[in-house]
Structure 1
Amino acid sequence: MLFVTSVAGTFFASDASASYNSSNWMGSISDNTSLSSLSIPGTHDSGALYEPIYGTAKNQDLTIAEQLSVGVRYLDIRTRHYKDAFTIHHGAVYQNQNFDDVLNAVISFLNNNPTETVIMSVKEEHTAADNTRSYEDTFNWYVSKNPDKWLMTNHVPTLGEARGKIVLVRRFQAAQLPKGIDATSWQDNTTFTIQNAANLKIQDYYKVSDRNKKWNDIQNMYHEANSSNPSWLYINFTSGYNPGLFGIPNIRTIANDINPKVNQFFSTNTHGRFGITVMDFITGDHASKIISTNF
């Protein structure tokens, strides 16, 4: 077992033969390791950096490029299908960027860090308008620009298969299969399993009326991931919102309560397999603690 300390974004293993930083940490893990065997920092609504009213739509302080730089390897991308293209949305709120902007950031990162992979969940958001083709056709058009950068396997791949590529977690219907890990049976506001070519367990309790329940759900997923069949991919959302007056969300209230608990959890659980942690307002400190459990 390697014990890891971090200094200025670089992590050093105790045997001194393995060192990594937040941009290339997967490079210190063997090719035959399944992505389901790792602890991976991720972000919820990864492109949501803007909001018209404080607390209602912004989920991240870091850009996509900054998220990848601090070690995030799971992105939750929400796209509106508009005029045969994808715009990035959180609900009705346009996020001042498009899918090309996201892909440019991800592909640039992978070109500069070919030992890494990025798991990307893609979901349709808001209302489609002014299109002449299907959502799937538009997605295929984006893929066709850089087909060698996508891994469309329907099973959970190994790092050797996935290095330098985007691994698709598909939350939209598709006629042409396989097209990524099929997560189209995603359930709403609960913990659930999806079993097909890939076995997934997902905790996504996001309308958080009970913060103690939310934290218990998160911890239960961590403990199960650390003790259960390593072929299952665990996706654990620490994100959520507190339903306020007239249903207006308050996103930061939940992050301000839960994020310190996540940090404390990984300060005491320093080694093991904890699945994908999907956070609002992730920081480099959050990501580094999650990453270090792999070593």
Structure 2
Amino acid sequence: MSLFLYLSLFFSLHSLSFVHLFVFIFRVVVVTATALVLATASQTTSRHDLSVPTNQLLSEAKREFLNMGGRPSRSVFDTTAFPSRHNTDWMSRIPDHVSLAYITIPGTHNTMAHHGGDMAECQAWLLYSQLQAGIRYLDIRCRHFRNGLPIHHGLKYQHADFPMVLRETVRFLEEFPTEVVIMRVKKEFQSAENTQDFEDTFRDCIEEYIERNQLWTDYAIMPKLGDIRGKIVILQDFRGSPLGMDYNGIYFSIEDRWKVPTLLEMHIDRKWEYVKRKLDVASQNEDNVVYITYTSGTSFWAWPHSVAGRINPRLQNYILGRKPKKRFGILCMDFPGMALIESILNSNFLPKIQSN
């Protein structure tokens, strides 16, 4: 029997496809090639003087190959369609006088990135499901196109637009008025075919919600929770007149070094060190600043789900290991699981949250 027929039979019996075979072979080639390239690049004039030994790089590539089929627990890394539990009103347990800067909040990176394949997708749960799970920070990327704001991840359209994001978020807040949603809005990809500025289009989208008092509008101060319950707090990450709190301003300290060159352990370790360093600072300081830490990462050689599968378990162990409980600010994740989300919620000096 030819190799082609054998593989056809094997994949049909295992309910798989040639796409899986291609992806598997591609990853093997990528890991091996990357290790060889890095090994070559690390060599100096002396073959015995290597900044990173070749055998170490190759052993890391081998370990990555052997671990390709393994996945962390769904409790910390969830790629299924719906969360296993809900935490719809966890903010009701926090007193009104607490500053936003002192709340530890689970969030998602590239919240709406559900389309585009493994290199573009960052979340499995749709927006409303994320809010039900307990997510209270949304990372929204809007392209300015034909005087509208379609949601993009880079060049990839995500089959949604900013008005839909606002409707879904407000629907959740009307159902659970004790909660607040922090929403970063970033201008994404190339603008095209517009007759007005991004700022004007954005203002058109939010105007009705300002009139209904469903958006926080005192952008110059750090709000207390009681001031913003039932509202969206916009973090403005685009140029123009103030239409939200300044994402790059004095009230925010951000860690977002997202480039992870490969899945080799040394690159995952480096990404984790950036995350850990920011969480350490957030937990030790008592300033009125919101610390925002992105645990996500990607590159051509390291796709979002692969990085999340390695970083999320480390984040869970870190959070659980900090006693007494600390404030960590906002943690923006790819494919978070429910146990990880609830570990973050329980860092707010609250009794253990019982999920619905």
Equivalent residue for 2:288, pick from 231, 236, 248: 231
Q: Which runs of 4+ in 1 moved over 4 A?
A: none
**Displacement after TM superposition at 1:70 (Å):** 0.6
**Displacement after TM superposition at 1:259 (Å):** 0.9
SS at match of 2:202: helix
- Tell me which residue corresponds to 1:55: 118
The 5 Å alignment of 1:68-147 reads 68-147=131-210
- Tell me which residue corresponds to 1:16: none
- Tell me which residue corresponds to 1:155: 221
Report the RMSD for the aligned CA atoms in angstroms.
Answer: 1.5
- Tell me which residue corresponds to 1:35: 100
Contact 1:225 1:273 in 2 (8 A): yes
SS at match of 2:170: helix
- Tell me which residue corresponds to 1:206: 258
Contact 1:42 1:75 in 2 (8 A): yes
SS at match of 1:154: coil
Q: TM-score, normalised by structure 1?
A: 0.83
- Tell me which residue corresponds to 2:232: 166
Would you say 1:250 and 2:316 are equivalent positions? no
Identity %: 34
Name the CA distance, whole Å, in 1 between partners of 2:346 and 2:127: 21
More helix by share: 2
**Displacement after TM superposition at 1:154 (Å):** 3.0
Name the CA distance, whole Å, in 2 between partners of 1:182 and 1:222: 21
Would you say 1:266 and 2:323 are equivalent positions? no
Contact 1:77 1:122 in 2 (8 A): yes
- Tell me which residue corresponds to 2:244: 180
Name the CA distance, whole Å, in 1 between partners of 2:192 and 2:178: 39
Q: Which moved more, 1:265-274 or 1:113-122?
A: 265-274
Contact 1:207 1:243 in 2 (8 A): no
Name the CA distance, whole Å, in 2 between partners of 1:101 and 1:255: 27
Deviations 1:230-282 (A, max 9, x none): 301100000011342xxxx6222211110111122222226210110000112
SS at match of 1:85: coil
Name the CA distance, whole Å, in 1 between partners of 2:284 and 2:313: 24
Name the CA distance, whole Å, in 1 between partners of 2:122 and 2:221: 29
**Displacement after TM superposition at 1:93 (Å):** 0.3
Structure 1 unaligned runs (5+)?
1-7, 10-20, 186-193
Name the CA distance, whole Å, in 2 between partners of 1:103 and 1:282: 22
Name the CA distance, whole Å, in 1 between partners of 2:153 and 2:235: 18
Contact 1:83 1:131 in 2 (8 A): yes
SS at match of 2:144: strand
Q: TM-score, normalised by structure 2?
A: 0.70
Equivalent residue letter for 2:181:
V
Equivalent residue letter for 1:171:
D
Name the CA distance, whole Å, in 1 between partners of 2:188 and 2:331: 22
Equivalent residue letter for 2:335:
F
Structure 2 unaligned runs (5+)?
1-83, 262-266, 351-356
**Displacement after TM superposition at 1:129 (Å):** 1.1
Contact 1:78 1:89 in 2 (8 A): yes
Rg larger in structure: 2
- Tell me which residue corresponds to 1:218: 275
Contact 2:119 2:300 in 1 (8 A): no
Name the CA distance, whole Å, in 1 between partners of 2:114 and 2:336: 12
Contact 1:81 1:129 in 2 (8 A): yes
